[in-house]
Amino acid sequence: MFNLTATVKAWRAQDPDPATAAALDELVTRAAAGDVAAIAELTSAFSAPLAFGTAGLRGPLGPGPARMNRVVVAQAAAGLAAYLIDTGNSDAPVLIGYDARHNSAIFARDTAEILAGAGLKALLCPGPLPTPVVAFGIRHLGCAAAVVVTASHNPASDNGYKVYAADGCQIVAPIDTEIATRIAAAAARPLFEIPRSQGYQLIGDELVDAYVARAASLVPVGAAKQAAWVYTALHGVGAATVDAVVSAAGFRPPQHVAAQNAPDPDFPSLAFPNPEEPGAIDSAIQLARQTGAELAIANDPDADRCAVAVPIAGQWRMLTGDELGVLLADDLLRRGVTGTYACSVVSGTLLSELACAYGQPHATTLTGFKWIGRVPDLAFGYEEAIGYCTDPAAVADKDGITALVRILTLASALKANGLTIADRLDELAIRYGVYRTSQLAFRVGQLEVIDTAMARLRATPPTTLGGQSVATVDLADGWNGLPPTNALAFIGGAVRVIVRPSGTEPKLKCYLQVHAERSADLVAARRATAETLAEVTTGITAALGW
């Protein structure tokens, strides 16, 4: 039977971090005095361990097995080491990278010491680096695995532990459960029994230099490079690497949003450090207006995602993830890049039309680059949550920096011909019809709220959305060859809606698409799709009961 007092006491005895130990002491004192919030936090933090899955670990910082802290990270590192040894992968090195969040450097060093203590060759990055640089390093350095300590675009109170396999992709089942089993075994032993060593290797500048050279090489010889642009790192780790890549490629340097350029784990100017959140890139857009720039580009804090804003019909706005994905794919197709063009099931469907038009195969995967990155003969992959794999031969993951290089190349080429990103979007709409996509994200305090909403949708699904009849497809049963996943699709006519829980945040997400057939009157077609999309938004919100 679970004994909260005994569990807390045992945890406190082995915690090596004075900060979390002090935080736990304060919680215990408050709980003993009857503080309801403290009792709830203790119960939440100690009732069950933080689940290790295909996204690794991610959660709030704090004491307890359900939080991110040095004890949990040490157990995860020990579990990973045991997995690599047990599966005969102990000869190749393991790369450890980290971002600039609270405790990231400490968690990364702990990981390096524990991997080295297990007899593995641990390579520790010299400082905070973008996640794509580490993903690049897996193949470049011939690694058996990699760890990136990051919570990506989550709030400042969170951190995470992302694990990659030797193929450069994030782990998938059954690797996650095999590592989780070994993590549980490590957690069953006293922490001091996990061996440590200072025998890890601190890598130098060669990894970043190699990544910069590769990213710069994506720009075609003789390409135009005169796009004027603004950049924000959103208080993350992208700026230094972006500047190095841009300089090596020969593009005009950006105007930086100075207040957001240096890494800051508190993200002081942002409610949420996610470019998708309303208002997150407002500072970049404002600077772009002031300086006469043609586009504003943002990376999320670990620089694996990329957001772009441009002026359209006289108004600045951020491109949707689907719009940017289609622009990048179309540019590659025009340049004759062959292979499979892939996107996640929640992304828009225009990519399949593009690939077909150029005689290239298209693939749909489950959400996440652990699936997209493993598509055979991948030429380009994206998901609507502003993640883009634009150089899969080198980085089998989303990469916000090479996506930035690709969009600068496209914007500069268009500018050299007197055109803009908006002009290219018009051209695509005339050729393929108007595809209007949007996302609704409902942030919740308790995950049970999401479970209740999904159950309600399954029990009483909508039969019409946007004035069109829709059929329900439960992706829990699998769909079009995809493995089962917890999602629902509502499809009919020109309407497509997919609803699923987020895999990394306490959110329920709805992915909406409305399509209008080809028309010379883009104004009318866009007005009609906007009206239908508004109706679909109202309808799915009502069906959720929110």
For residue 487, what are its two tokens? 């999602």
- Residue 276 to residues 156, 302, 318, Cα–Cα distance (Å): 16, 14, 9
Cβ atoms within 10 A of the Cβ of 16, count? 14
433/135 Cα distance (integer angstroms): 36
Strands (DSSP E) contained in 154-211 are 158-165, 201-202
By the 8 A CB rule, do 54 and 169 touch?
Answer: no
From 99, 529, 535, 58, select the one nearest 320 (Cα to Cα).
529
Given CA atoms 232, 237, 240, 243 in this order, what sign does their dihedral have?
A: negative
The phi-psi region of residue 288 (left if phi > 0; otherwise alpha if psi is between -120 and 50; otherwise beta) is alpha
**Residue 30 per-residue DSSP state:** H
Helix/strand/coil for 440: strand
Task: Determine whether 438 is an active site residue.
Answer: no
Element holding 146 (H helix, E strand):
strand 145-149
Q: What count of residues does the chain have? A: 546
Output b/e per residue, 476-503; b: 16+ Cβ within 10 A.
eeebeeeeebebbbbbbebbbbbbbbbb
Amino acid (one-letter) located at 373: G
Cβ atoms within 10 A of the Cβ of 77, count? 30
Cβ atoms within 10 A of the Cβ of 9, count? 12
Strands (DSSP E) contained in 345-415 are 362-365, 378-383, 387-389
Q: List Cβ neighbours of 57 (8 Å cut-off, separation of 6 or more).
A: 50, 51, 68, 72, 73, 76, 160, 161
β-pairing verdict for 468-469 and 471-474:
unpaired
**Residue 319 per-residue DSSP state:** P
Helix/strand/coil for 318: strand
**Residue 49 per-residue DSSP state:** P
Give CA angle at 398 (392, 402), nearest 5°.
70
Catalytic residue among 47, 90, 152, 269: 152
236/306 Cα distance (integer angstroms): 12
Q: List Cβ neighbours of 205 (8 Å cut-off, separation of 6 or more).
A: 126
β-pairing verdict for 145-149 and 94-98:
parallel
User: What positions carry a catalytic annotation?
Assistant: 152
